[in-house]
Amino acid sequence: MDGDERCYREIRSARFPLGLPDRSDLTVIDAFADAWLLIEHRPSGTQLAGVAEDYDAARAWLAQHEETGGPDGS
């Protein structure tokens, strides 16, 4: 893999997938209350890998990727 080919994972609020519309306390609480989108970015494209029911599950999915070193396990 050359320097331009980057594989990484990302989580986003399912309620606000494009980011928070404002910074009010209610918006932040709403963003963390729902499901989380699990997104994988690869040189070949971006795909929705799944949906986590809560933030802890989403963070565990991210940590799993970091522990294995990436999508190919290296």
Torsion of CA 24, 27, 32, 34, to 10 degrees: 170
pLDDT of residue 57: 93
Distance CA 2, CA 13 (A): 31
Percentage of residues in the chain with pLDDT exceeding 90? 38
Q: Which residue has the tokens 């949906």?
A: 51
Q: Which residue has the higher pLDDT, 4 or 16?
A: 16
pLDDT at 18 over 70: yes
- Give the pLDDT of residue 38: 94
d(CA 45, CA 21): 26
Summarised one tens digit per residue, pLDDT across range 20-58 is 666 666 666 666 667 889 999 999 999 999 999 988 999
| Residue 1: predicted pLDDT | 46
